[in-house]
Amino acid sequence: MYLYQNEFVSKEQVRISPDDRGYYFGDGVYEVFRVYNGILFEAEGHYERLEKSARDVRIPLPYSTRHLDKLLNQLIRLNELAEGTVYMQITRGAAPRSHPFPAQAEPVLMAYTTEMARPFETMEKGITAVTMEDIRWLRCDLKTLNLLPNVMAKQHALDQGAHEVILHRSGTVTECSASNMMIVKNGELRTHPANHLILHGITRAFVLQLARQLNLPVREEAFTLDDLRTADEAFITGTTTEITPIIRIDKQTVGQGVPGPVTVKLQRAFEERLPKAAIKS
Ligand code: PDD
């Protein structure tokens, strides 16, 4: 079942207009939630980010986040989802194509669930990455539907035989196509500060909290491609990727070429805090 506005319908019953501004302009916002054991993970953070994205692009949310939470939980129950994700998007609505905000349009909400196993293999073995100039706009903190630069960057990585792309602005590392970037260097965990140049990842915040609980020194300060290339460990964080080690960057080995000890420690701490029955037995 899909959630379409305030109703649960089949996919075929979702009627999105060709005039929907999401389609013409990418004029909408979205969230991807992780579901562990039928439970929305860090839901509050996702709702707060959704409210911020919607407010800053001036799309009125059709319902309170409290009501949205009720709807998403109903959707999870209806679809009997245990392990997977919930995708939800809200566009400015349908109106004949014209740049100004339409006077009459009503926001269009659509959400669905996807069953998805946890990425155990890549979390254990690590992935490879390539670097690329970050050509996105200057409000990367907003989770909008305008993802063409992210799509192009991800495809660039795949075309090079790598899994992910690490973006940088003139040598300053920002984040990845759909995840945040962290390195460990001289015992310190380093990641780009949560400003307008990166998405304020829910997993990023969760991992930083874990690191502080583990008494790991944390530095939320921009680092360079040079720092990245000489890092002892590197990993990405994200709703679908959790904590995934990066073992090679631009064909050069990171550290020992295997997931590092700090990364593994954080993965373990992450695992311990998941809704119980979701833990791998
Ligand atoms: N992407 N950076 C970007 C550009 C992202 O698109 C995402 C998430 C993240 C990680 O944020 P979080 O920990 O809140 O998932 C960082 C989602 C999963 C997506 O677009 O599919």
Position 277 confidence tier, pLDDT thresholds 50, 70, 90: low
Determine the Cα–Cα distance for residues 45 and 186; give it in Å rounded to an integer. 30
In this prediction, residue 281 carries a pLDDT of 42
276: Cβ contacts below 8 Å, ≥ 6 apart:
37
CA 171, 177, 178, 183 torsion: positive or negative? negative
Helix (H, G, I), strand (E, B) or coil at 176: strand
The answer on pLDDT for 207 being more than 90 is: yes
The answer on pLDDT for 268 being more than 90 is: yes
Determine the Cα–Cα distance for residues 203 and 242; give it in Å rounded to an integer. 7
- Which residue among 196, 239, 241 is best mutated to probe the pocket of ligand 1, counting the most ligand atoms within 8 A of its Cβ? 239
Position 14 confidence tier, pLDDT thresholds 50, 70, 90: very high
In this prediction, residue 278 carries a pLDDT of 46
In this prediction, residue 216 carries a pLDDT of 98
Q: Whose CA is nearest to atom 1 of ligand 1?
A: 178
CA 191–ligand 1 middle distance (angstroms)? 15
Q: Mean pLDDT across the chain, nearest whole number?
A: 97
Which atom of ligand 1 lies closest to the CA of 143? Answer: 6
**H or E, element range at 32:** strand 28-36
CA 186–ligand 1 middle distance (angstroms)? 27
Contact 208, 173 (CB under 8 A): no
* Mean predicted confidence (pLDDT) in 180-188: 97
177 or 275, greater pLDDT: 177
In this prediction, residue 275 carries a pLDDT of 80
Q: What residues line ligand 1, using a CB cutoff of 6 Å?
A: 32, 150, 175, 178-180, 199, 201-204, 237-240
Q: Whose CA is nearest to atom 12 of ligand 1?
A: 201
Active-site residue 70, yes or no?
no
Q: Whose CA is nearest to atom 20 of ligand 1?
A: 178
The answer on pLDDT for 241 being more than 90 is: yes
pTM: 0.97
Catalytic pick from 11, 143, 251, 265? 143
Which atom of ligand 1 lies closest to the CA of 45? Answer: 14
Of the candidates 103, 101, 168, 40, which has an alpha carbon nearest to the alpha carbon of residue 50?
A: 40
Which atom of ligand 1 lies closest to the CA of 175? Answer: 2
In this prediction, residue 73 carries a pLDDT of 98
Which atom of ligand 1 lies closest to the CA of 238? Answer: 13
Please, is 280 exposed, middle or buried when counting C-beta atoms within 10 Å of its C-beta (0-12, 13-18, 19+)? exposed
CA 200–ligand 1 middle distance (angstroms)? 8
Retrieve residue 126's tokens.
């690590």
- Given phi > 0 = left and psi -120 to 50 = alpha, else beta, which region is 187? left
CA 238–ligand 1 middle distance (angstroms)? 6
